[in-house]
Every structure is written in C-alpha cells, then in structure tokens.
Amino acid sequence: MPPSAAASPAPESRPAIPEAGSAAVSAPVPARLPDLADRFASRTEGMTASEIRALFAVASRPEVVSLAGGMPNLAALPLDLLASEVAELISRDGQVALQYGSAQGVPLLREQITEVMAAEGIRAHADDVVVTIGSQMALDLVTRIFCDPGDIVLAEGPSYVGALGSFAAYQAQVRHVAMDDDGLVPAALAEALSQLAAAGRRAKFLYTVPNFHNPAGVTLAVARRAEILELCRRYDVLVVEDNPYGLLGFDGQTYPALRSMDPDNVIYLGSFSKTFASGLRVGWALAPPAVRDKLVLAAESATLCPPTFNQMMVSRYLAGHDWRGQVKSFREMYRERRDAMLGALSTYLPAGCRWTHPDGGFYVWLTVPEGVDTKAMLPRAVRARVAYASGTGFYADGLGSRQLRLSYCYPTPERITEGVRRLAGVLNAELEVLHTFGTPDRAATRSVGSGTRRGPQTPSPDTT
C-alpha cells in the first residue's frame, strides 16, 4: 500500500457530504447551552439593568415625549468644523491617533484638562490626571481599588444611578445621606459618620455630585462645602467628587470644587460628555499620586489604554475652538429648556406636587402626592406617550416611590411642555383612582417632603 494511502483516514471516518440533487439534509440541532448561573462570581448578583436603561427602547419611540434620559443636546455643536478636524487629524496624525497609547492618557490632553479644571479653582498637575473612557469608567476604577465586598459607601439620597450600579457590582453597601434645597445636609453626614464610628466601622468614601445634582437638580451650598470636607477629614473618609455639570450653571457662575478646597482628600471626576460630545467617551480622574498610580494599573487591566483617537480629537477641539463660548451656548440652550419645564410644571401639575428649581445641569426632581407610586404609574405614563425615570432607581434601599426625575436637556421646549401636560393627565387619573378607592397603606415607604405646597422642595433630613 502506498504511504499516502496508509496515511489517509478510513472512508467510514469521513463526514458524509450530500451529492448535488440528493435529498435535503436536516439542519444540525444546536447543542443546548449549559446553565452557567451556578458558576458566576458572587459579585454578579448585584449586576442588574437600571430602570432607566430598560426605558430606552420605549422612550426612543417618536410618539413618546421622553423626559427620562439625560442625553446632551448636540444641536449647538459646529459639526462641519468638527468634520474637517477629524479629516485633518487622520491625514496629519493618523499613525499616532489610530495606535495604542498610554494608559494614563495623551499628555497634551492631560495638560488641557488642568486648564479646564482651573475654572473651578483647581490647581493641578497633568501628572495627577488619569484619562478614562467617560467619567463612569473613572468611578468604576475608584470603586474597584477601594471597595471590598461589604464595605460601606456614603452617597446622597437620591444618588446617580450609574454610581449605584458600580457600587453594587463591587458588592459595596450604600448608606444614603439626606439632602435638601442646599444639597447634602452636614448634620445628616455627621450623624452617619458618628454611627459608623460607634459601630467600629468607617466608610470607604463619600460619593457626591455637588453641582446641579443628578437626579435632584440641587447644588451644594458653598457655606456647607468646608463643613463637609472637615467632617470627612475628622473621620478619615475620602471624598469622591463627581462633577460633570459644573460648567453648566445657567447664570454663568462656577462653584469652587471640593477638590480645590482639599486637594489631598478629594478625588475629582470630570467629563467632556456634557460640555462637548458624549459619544467620544472622554472623562478623567484627578487623584493624589498614590491613588493615581493604582488607577493607572486598574485602567491597564480594564482597557489597556483609552482610545487615542478620541483623546486627540478632544485635544484639537480644545486647542483650536472657542470651547468656553461653546459651553456658554449650551448653558443658554439648557436654560431655555429648564424654563419651559418649570413653567409647564407650574401650569399643569395638580396640587400636592413639589419639585426642585435647578440653576444648572439637566434635571428636575419631582415629588408627587401621597399614595401615588411612580414606578407603578410608569407603564400608564408610557401609554399616554410620556416617559420619566421613577425615583426608586436612584436609591439603593428601596425608597423613592413618590419621586421621579424629569430631564429637560434633550427635547425642544415645545415637546417639554407637551410632555408635562401628558404627565399631568396621568397624575390626575391616578389621583382620581386614589380619591375613589382610598390611599394604599404606605407605612413601610418613607416619602420625600410633606404637605401639599407646590414649587421647589427637596428631601428633608428626616425623610430620606
């Protein structure tokens, strides 16, 4: 037998190939995927889709007025100029822009970021800046390097839903601290810190959105900032300052960053998502050197490096365009939408509703009358072609059933007015049902605020 024949497999070992014209062969049945639930790490138990993400499929339908998501309105961007910048970036620096880069970020952009932060009184060195894929990545990295399962994080109540998701993913326990019209309440923070100390525990950090809060829409009073920083110093608790909206004050005012007042105990998170383009996903963390080094190592393990092209695009924009003038145009656009929102709320909402009066940012926080459950009401609102974010998504402890977040950043003023009118119709229908059948027992659910006064009001210390 020739060697080639000896090396050939036996005919019966070869798969049968149907000849042309032969009867059709049944498609193979795919193998059943194994159930991997018992193999997942325990930390995945805290990974759940946010209520806001679940809304997007419905809220994006054109007939629905979405007051739910916080998408920036990019209509004011000079897209033609940016298109030429992209072309020039690729033609002149494409071999660098499309290549791997540093895990810490492009050096020139880090220098420019220090200039952006200077508007809020921050004096920083570019070496202490770590560029990330949006500030959400920075928050995730901070949580990763500080929190073990069961560790405690202090956060305002309500709090940013993306932060709550990161804390849950790393199995940290969130303890909410009350807010009012002037932001985080120092007395409530002092009580939380004292109670933890008495129990022999210490929070890993205080997470706060001090300016134009998401979702509450309020701003931390300047007089309170030093007091809060002193409390955290006294109890040896780090502060994580998340400030994506700081330059979007409607009167042009910028507030002193917490980082500017205590550089050694504050990690500052920033982003270009609200002041330039959210789709580029460029954010950053400014941290003390010891923390910075850990952030860079964590970033390397997560992404190797942030996208160089996106960073260089932002850098060219900052260098070659009037970015401050662009921010001013965003402020004016969002102020017009805020005014439309507040005007519609005053015109249409029933008695017993209360809302915050933001002086910047994207959001209004609304409290509805006793007995109305905003999460249960949401499907009925969507049927009435209006969407919002129910308050329960902004708490880690089940509160918020009487609250909801309204976003005014993306719809036109006319759409905002119509959306609020539709929401008012849904609320009136809910209240009519309650009037007919009585208010359900809410002994187990604390509401935010009290009374039936219309107008701005935020959580009081004893009700969050």
- What are the DSSP calls for 136-170, one per residue? HHHHHHHHHHH--TT-EEEEEES--HHHHHHHHHT
Spatial distance between the Cα atoms of 455 and 187, rounded to a whole number of angstroms: 25
pLDDT value at residue 61: 81
pLDDT value at residue 54: 62
Q: What is the average per-residue pLDDT within 441-451?
A: 39
pLDDT value at residue 59: 65
The model's confidence at residue 223, banded by pLDDT at 50, 70 and 90, is very high
Spatial distance between the Cα atoms of 77 and 181, rounded to a whole number of angstroms: 32
| Contact in structure between 298 and 292 (CB atoms under 8 Å) | no
Q: Please tell me what DSSP assigns to residue 277.
A: I
Cis peptide bond prior to 456, omega within 30° of 0: no
pLDDT value at residue 53: 64
pLDDT value at residue 459: 39
Q: What is the share, in percent, of the chain residues with pLDDT greater than 70?
A: 84
| pLDDT single digits (tens) 260-275 | 999 999 999 999 999 9
Mean pLDDT of the chain: 88
The model's confidence at residue 62, banded by pLDDT at 50, 70 and 90, is confident
The Cβ-side half-sphere exposure at 439, using a 13 Å CA radius, reads: 10
| pLDDT single digits (tens) 202-220 | 999 999 999 999 999 999 9
| Contact in structure between 91 and 415 (CB atoms under 8 Å) | no
Helical ranges in 199-322 per DSSP H: 222-234, 258-261, 289-303, 308-320
Using the predicted structure, report yes or no on whether residue 137 has a pLDDT greater than 60: yes
pLDDT value at residue 33: 60
The model's confidence at residue 448, banded by pLDDT at 50, 70 and 90, is very low
Q: What is the average per-residue pLDDT within 48-77?
A: 80
